[in-house]
Each structure stands twice: as structure tokens, then as C-alpha cells.
Amino acid sequence: LFELDHIGRGETPQVQLRFLRKSIESVTKACKPERGPWMWPVHSIGVSVAVMLANLALGDTSVPRRRQWLWYLRILPLPTGCKIQQQLELHYGSAVAYAFAWSNLYVQGLWILAFITILTSTVFHAGPADVTSAKVIPWVILQFL
């Protein structure tokens, strides 16, 4: 943990954060890269590629290929669970693994919304129409979705 010296005590949180930033910058000045931000992100492009490749390499071979493709498109989760979620939790922690799991669930919801929209527009021939005709009702419903 990092504790402020007597300089920042009793100050507002904004002033304390400014003191904390200056203190961290002075301690890490030798580590500052020549280009780019002062503090590097949690992972680089190499780690991003490794996570993507691990998603392919750690795939469960007992699951049929068709089901794996449904997982890659984030339509259906794997019945055995996702090993990459476990690796993300080990590497980044449970909060980041939760964010990835939540994004997978969000994409699954978007697939459902896309299916409902395509089905409704196909069945009811929904499209922009004259406001006075009854054909405008499915179009308005699709806009609401």
C-alpha cells in the first residue's frame, strides 16, 4: 500500500490524488517508457493474441465442431464450460473474468434480438410505410425493439 506523507493529510480527495500521482511518478520515473503512456495497460497486443489463440487451443475436443462454432459466435455456451474463462480468472482476476462472461451473455442477447427482428420483418413484411396504413405497425414494433 501507498501512504501519503504529512503533506497530503487533511486535504480534499482531489488534492490527495494529485499528491499520490506526483509521488508515483517520481518513484517510477526510471521505468517510464520512451513512447506511450506512463502506466502501461494490463496487457499488450501479444497478450490479446495469446488469449484469442488459447480460446482455440483450449477448446474441448469432446464437443462437436458445430457446437464449438456456436460458441465462437457466442450463440450458445459450451456444455462443459469455457476453459478460457478459467484462464482469464487466473491471469487477470475474477472481476475481469466476470466482465468477459457478462459480455458473452450480452452478445447472446443481441443474437436473440437479431433473430426476433429478422423473423418479425420477414413474416410481417415490415418496413417504412405510410403512417396512415396498418403496415406501419410492425415497423414501429421493430423500432421499439
Mean pLDDT, rounded, of the chain: 75
Condensed to tens digits (0 to 9), the pLDDT of residues 80-130 reads 677 777 777 877 778 778 888 888 889 999 999 889 888 887 887 777 766
pTM strictly above 0.75:
no
pLDDT level of residue 139 (50, 70, 90 thresholds): confident
Interacting residues of 111 by C-beta distance below 8 A, sequence separation 6+: 73, 74, 75
One DSSP character per residue, the chain reads -----TTTTTS-HHHHHHHHHHHHHHHSGGG--SSS-SSPPS--HHHHHHHHHHHHHT--TTS-HHHHHHHHTTSS--TT--HHHHHHHHHH-HHHHHHHHHHHHHHHHHHHHHHHHHHHHHHHT-----TTSTTHHHHHHHHH-
